[in-house]
Structures are given as structure tokens and as C-alpha cells.
Amino acid sequence: MTNVTLSTSPTRQAAPSVAMNDFRRMWDEVGPAAMEALNQVGQSGWYILGNEVKAFEQSLAQWWGAGQCVGVANGLDAIEIALRAMDIGPGDKVLTTPLSAFATTLAIMHVGATPVFVDVDEIGLIDLDRCRRVVRSDPAIKAMVPVHLFGFSIDLGELAGLKQSFDLQLIEDCAQSIGARFNGRAAGTVGDATATSFYPTKNLGTFGDGGAMLTSNDALAACARQIRHYGQTEQYHHERFGLNSRLDELHAAILRRALLPRLETWTHRRRQIAAHYLSRIDHPRIRLITAPPGMEPVWHLFPVRVPPGEREAFRADLAACGVHTGIHYPRLISDQPALRQYARFEVTDPISIAQQFATGEVSLPINPHLTDEQVDQVVAACNGWRR
Ligand SMILES: *Cc1c(COP(=O)(O)O)cnc(C)c1O
């Protein structure tokens, strides 16, 4: 046999994979405590709105430094219930960000209010200077739902000032930022109410859906408790329209007994990984996002920015090195087809920075169960991207 050409490419071992989330390792860590919680709830014979929900609500409120916590079915409902409890509805305009999970705006749409979109700043958070200008020129704006995105905290002093200057009703979306601080103050403590989510990927994510509304206003908390439970004040007596949006006993038990006690450790690990990425990733076309002085992020995500036309190539290159990535978010909320149908929304100025995120953002893996080797693998994959 002649002229046989052998392949010259060396046999390549597929790189071990680094996933955005590692639920298997998480279960290895918390499984026994979660099973114990299941056992407790099972033996109690009480599954909806019992002592476990109460105990978890107290624990989280105390942990957060908020007066009260109301456990609900998910983060979307937490925002909607806060808006309803504050009587925000048709005819009211609500400032919000076009760069977030769709749920933020969906809650505003559910109550019939009009979202008003304002551009974000260089780290992806709603631009408070622009907000100030927009609110000054439109007195119909009564409320604001800012998002502490990526695990960053908006400047809380500025946010409180904006609320005060214009007497705005303020609901903070903390679905991604549980534990984040600005100048020592916890995100979620300057608004009238705060919403968070226990969706599995979140920093305090459970094994299903869950959410909470927190507030220091007792009347608001009482109202939210009614709304999550068909709007009833006592059994079979309905004072208002409500939802069925209860956090269940099982998830409350798992959250309090198995997950909340580990949140500080997990946040610490996320910060360690972020510090590592920030000091080690070094590539002319990968733009890192650093937290401004005073901010203590909890790194729900680790966003970087690459030139828009190169995003897919970058992600493919990382995938070939075993590194999975995400995009948060590829399409602005104000550009979603559902908004066109809803029709009641406003876009202020050009929202160009948010658009730059939509076209150039890439999220690197940063879950607390990453090993040091995996973190190094992510760094090497980034630094090895074609220069
Ligand atoms: C996840 C998320 C929500 C919605 O939470 P769910 O529990 O999925 O309903 C809302 N806002 C932001 C910023 C989120 O990341």
C-alpha cells in the first residue's frame, strides 16, 4: 500500500467541562440536610403556610436586616405582589431597566402599569443620573423597579436620594444580588419593598421555584400576605384580588435548614473566583467589569464584554476548551415581541449602553462549586483566545 496519508492531528483528549452551574456537586454538599428537611416536613403533616414558612421568613428577614419577609412562589410574583400591595396599576408609569430578566418588566405589565425604560451605565446597572432627568420631566412616573444586576449593588445612597427627591415608590429587584452591599448597606434595604428569587441558579437557589418580598412596612407586608393567598384576610373572606403564590413548607424548610446557613460560604467562594478572574484574565479584546469603590458584589454572574461581532467566535472557542458560557441578555426587554403587543411602554433617549451589553456580553462560569482547576481552566481558555 502506498500513498496512505495518515492524519497528522494528534489525538486530542476532550477537555473536561466547566458548566455554568453544577447542581450535582451542590446536591453532594446539601443533600443530607435537604433530606432531613423533607423528613421534618413530611412528619409534620403540614405542607402549606405553616411553621416552616414562618421560621424561614423570620430567618431571612433577620439575615437581610429587613423588618419582614413574605415567602411567595417565585421572584416574578414577589415583584408583582409588591406592586399590587403598593396600589401601582393602570395609569402609573414605572421606571425600570431594559437589561434584566424579562420577569422584572413582566410584573409591571401584569399590574397594568406602563414601564419606562432607562439606559444602563458601564457596569450594566440602571443609570441613576438619567433616571433623575427622566423623572424630573415626567411627573406621571410614580414608581421605580431597579435591578441590582449580576450580583452588583446600585449606589444605595444615590438610589435613596432619588426616591426621596421625587417621592418615588421603590421596589428593588434583588433576584441576583442577595447579600450585595454598597458602602456597608445591604442592597434591598432602601426601597419600600424588595423582591428576590430562589430559582435554582440564583445565589440562594433551591430545588424548585420560590421567592420572597421583604419590607420594613408592616402594612405592606400584611397586604402581601393576603395577595399571595387569594387576597383573603381570613378563610373564605376575600378583601381584594389575589394570586395563589405561596412558598411551600418543603422549600421553606430546605431554604432555612440546608441553604441559608451556607450562603455566606458560597458568597465568599464566588468572591474568591471573581478576584481570581479579575487579576488573571488578560486579553486585549476581553473587557472585564470591575466594581466601583464601596460596592461589595456577590457575583451572581461574571459578565465580560467582547467586540459584538466576535461574541459567537469567543464562545465557541471557550466551548472547545470545555468552558460553557451564558449571555445576559441577548435581547433587551424593550425589544421583546410581547412588549409590542402590550403597547403601553416608553423608551427614553437611545438605550445604547444596554444595547452594547445585549450584543457583546458573555457570562463566565462562577458557581461556588467550581474547583480551583476549573477556575484556572476558564482563565487559560480566555487568555488563549486567538489574539
Ligand atoms: C430570576 C430573576 C427574576 C425572576 O425570578 P423567578 O423566580 O424566576 O420568577 C426576576 N428578576 C431578576 C433580575 C432575575 O434574575
pLDDT per residue over 108-163, tens digit each? 999 999 999 999 999 999 999 999 999 999 999 999 999 999 999 999 999 999 99
Q: Is the pLDDT of residue 349 over 90?
A: no
Task: From 292, 327, 298, 334, select the one nearest 97 (Cα to Cα).
Answer: 334
Please indicate whether residue 318, judged by its CB atom, sits closer than 6 Å to ligand 1: no
pLDDT-derived band at 4, boundaries 50, 70, 90? very low
Provide the mean pLDDT of the chain. 95
pLDDT the model gives residue 13: 63
**C-alpha grid cell for residue 315?**
464562545
Ligand 1 atom index nearest CA of 78: 9
Please indicate whether residue 75, judged by its CB atom, sits closer than 6 Å to ligand 1: yes
The per-residue pLDDT for range 34-76, each reduced to its tens digit, is 999 999 999 999 999 999 999 999 999 999 999 999 999 999 9
Please indicate whether residue 194, judged by its CB atom, sits closer than 6 Å to ligand 1: no
The per-residue pLDDT for range 194-215, each reduced to its tens digit, is 999 999 999 999 999 999 999 9
Please indicate whether residue 104, judged by its CB atom, sits closer than 6 Å to ligand 1: yes
Please indicate whether residue 263, judged by its CB atom, sits closer than 6 Å to ligand 1: no
- Cα dihedral sign for 56, 58, 64, 70? positive
- Residue identifier of the C-alpha nearest atom 6 of ligand 1: 75
How much is the average pLDDT of 375-383?
A: 98
Q: Is the pLDDT of residue 233 over 50?
A: yes
How much is the average pLDDT of 99-114?
A: 98
How much is the average pLDDT of 305-323?
A: 97
Measure 384 CA to ligand 1 centroid, in angstroms: 34
pLDDT the model gives residue 12: 55
Q: Is the pLDDT of residue 1 over 50?
A: no
Q: Is the pLDDT of residue 298 over 70?
A: yes
Helix orientation angle between 128-137 and 156-166, rounded to the nearest 10 degrees: 0
Contact 153, 177 (CB under 8 A): yes
Q: Is the pLDDT of residue 7 over 50?
A: no
